[in-house]
Chain A
Amino acid sequence: MLRLVYIALVLAVAANVAAAETPRRIASMNLCADQLVWRLAERRHIVSLSHLAADDEVSLIADEVEGIHLNHGSAEEIVPLKPDLVVAGRYSARAAVSLLRKLGYRVVQLELARSVADIRRQIVRLGEVLGSPDRARRIIARMDRRIEATRVPSSAPRPTAINYQPNGFAAGPGSLIADVLRHAGFDLARIGGSTGAYAHLPLEVLIDDPPDVLIVDQSYAQNPTLAHSLLAHPALDHLANRIRRVAVPNRVWICGNPGTARAIEQLAEVREQWAGEQ
């Protein structure tokens, strides 16, 4: 009898520990965290996502998240939800994060993913935190299969590319975009001497030394922005007969994400077409 009580106790404690380890009320306050949490956790365990998750310009899950509570990155919206885990970005909603920590909430912060390897690491880490390591492994395996399918032989010619963004900024060698380009069989064209994630690239420099492929960001293109007017500059149109211009939606690589494989697939196709013309 005593033995049975003992076993029951052990089981109860074990269940409790498991409950503490597997969050049941998850709130995400960052677009990149939203998309990983959405894939890794059960829907019924997610109490809130950031409002950007529902914006299809930047989010890959916009059409799936209907009915989910959306927050705007303030602690006030999070506290009444009584989450047992808050996932936030390293650089966003910092005031809210420090306040939530002070109030005793468990907060996990995600770094920015700067490479496909970073994406794998993040999925593994979040899978552990969310108590779904198996699902994390499956997601990574699926992503890796998609990437593997696009692999080009190392002897194949590699076109140069630049991702030109609003306001004349270009993705630099230290960015996720650069790593995606490498995986898709491109070389990042030289952007000044920059090694960081972003560099300012004057139109003059771009035109003097154009890449084989110019990738422009079309998000929010239907909303007018001053920043985008640069991408409509006649000088870029005049260059059109010399270089290939492709639009890649920002949502596939604004966050490191299993969906980033889509960007690799799309660009690998562009590379095929380019190679066919050479």
Chain B
Amino acid sequence: MTRGWKLTALLSLVLATLAVLSLFAGRVAFPPGEIARAVFAPGDIAEAVDIIVWDLRMPRTLLAILVGASLGLAGAALQGLLRNPLAEPGVIGVSTSAAFGAVVVFYSGLAGAFPIALPLGGMTGALGAVALLILLAGRNPGVLTLILAGVAVNSLGGALTALALNLSPNPYAAAEVVFWLMGSLADRSFEHVRLAIVFMVPGWLLIFSARRALDALSLGDDAAASLGFDLRATRWLTVGGVALAVGASVSVCGTIAFVGLVVPHVLRPLVGFEPSRLLPASALGGAILLVVTDIAVRLLSVGIELKIGVLTALIGAPFFFALLVKLRRVMR
């Protein structure tokens, strides 16, 4: 118990430090003193610094934390529920389907009329994907079944997105959605933060409320049921929470892959393989990973902006390979 507390404190400290550092990173370099003044004494500072810190870098950092936490948490929750280390919103098609939901809402004009429709669309897509996945792969899928079901859900989501773009009367649609699907936190505003947070926090709470059941579930369905956990309720709490968190993330930031795969995997040994302890650690770890990558994206972008989803995918893919090789040995 004490070790878990220490880990949480350490991760929180790292996250807080990085979040502050993130305010200093950007395309335009300002003296650190000026940024600090803009934060603590807004108003008596050059207008440009004020706008850049408060309207651009603050919402960006907050979104990196919110989205990273959501993706880390969703990965850990899905892995606990499906008892499978490869379950991740991006790998199994949840993100792609959320993107489809968001694209439909956006280009139908609904999002323009009611901004809240955008995350709702994303969540509907995400929920549909998880439901379809469980229908296809069953409640306790093997690695291979899960991956195949994921491929199927992914390709359906991609095809539907392509169809929506194909039918869109707007000639910009295809190009901008391709960019948007790469995932980015650049130039977001507090409106995006507000839009995301009202769905993410309930999603997190749903997932956390299932943590004891997920612990029990790691012993097997029967064991969990005999311990008095309602497996149906657990499944729906987790799936609903994942849909809320991932749907809201994707609808404001596009698809950012592999965070939910890398983070829980790295942290699992540190929390004694207990899902209930892995959940908060993964949320913090996901936030840290995304804040770090977002700082890296800003420092590495020269000329054309590098998209954060591209960078996480480049980090995540080799990790995924390594994980597969390891699993192959275990399965043999």
Contact = CB atoms under 8 A, between A and B. Distances in A.
B318 interface: no
B190 interface: yes
Contacts of B189: 233-235
A258 to B, nearest CB: 23
B187 interface: yes
B231 interface: no
A210 B301 CA distance: 20
A234 B170 contact: no
Contact of B176 (A199, A208, A225, A239): A225
A166 B176 contact: yes
A230 B191 CA distance: 12
Contact of B56 (A207, A220, A223): A207
A227 B175 CA distance: 9
B109 A224 contact: yes
Nearest to B186: A202
A200 B304 contact: yes
A220 B170 contact: yes
Interface string A14-42: 00000000000000000000000000000
A235 B170 contact: no
B48 A234 contact: no
A2 interface: no
B106 A204 contact: no
A29 B47 CA distance: 48
Contacts of A192: 303
A168 interface: yes
Nearest to A223: B170
Given A202-B187, A233-B55, A224 B112 contact: yes
A134 to B, nearest CB: 36
A105 B2 CA distance: 81
Interface string B144-176: 000000000000000000000000011111011
B106 to A, nearest CB: 6
B111 A203 contact: no
Contacts of B236: none
B323 interface: no
A208 B303 CA distance: 16
Nearest to A169: B304
A178 to B, nearest CB: 18
A167 interface: yes
A138 interface: no
B28 A233 contact: no
Given A224-B109, A224-B112, A239-B51, A200 B303 contact: yes
A234 B171 CA distance: 26
A166 B55 contact: no
Interface string B185-198: 01101110000000
A234 B190 contact: yes
Contacts of A199: 303
A79 B69 CA distance: 57
A139 B191 CA distance: 49
A263 B303 CA distance: 29
Interface string A214-252: 000000100111110010011100110010000000000
A204 B180 contact: no
Given A200-B304, A207-B51, A223-B109, A167 B176 contact: yes
B297 to A, nearest CB: 11
A5 interface: no
A230 B192 CA distance: 12
Interface in A157-216: 166-168, 192, 194, 199-200, 202-205, 207-210
A238 B176 contact: no
Contacts of A220: 170-172
B178 to A, nearest CB: 11
A226 B303 contact: no
B55 A238 contact: yes
A223 B168 CA distance: 10
B106 A167 contact: no
Interface string A90-109: 00000000000000000000
Contacts of B190: 234
B177 interface: yes
Contacts of B191: 234
A226 B115 CA distance: 12
B90 interface: no
A224 B180 CA distance: 14
Contacts of A238: 47, 51, 55
B187 A227 contact: no
A166 B111 CA distance: 18
A81 B170 CA distance: 28
A225 B305 contact: no
Interface string B36-53: 000000000001100110
A227 B28 contact: no
Given A192-B303, A234-B190, A223 B169 contact: yes
Contacts of B111: 224
Nearest to B26: A204
B179 A167 contact: yes
A205 B55 contact: no
29 contacts: A166-B172, A167-B175, A192-B303, A194-B303, A200-B305, A202-B186, A203-B186, A203-B187, A204-B27, A204-B52, A205-B28, A207-B48, A207-B51, A223-B109, A223-B169, A223-B170, A224-B106, A224-B107, A224-B109, A224-B111, A225-B106, A225-B170, A225-B176, A226-B176, A227-B172, A233-B55, A233-B189, A234-B191, A239-B51
Q: Which 4 A-B pairs have the closest CB atoms?
A: A235-B55, A224-B112, A227-B176, A208-B28
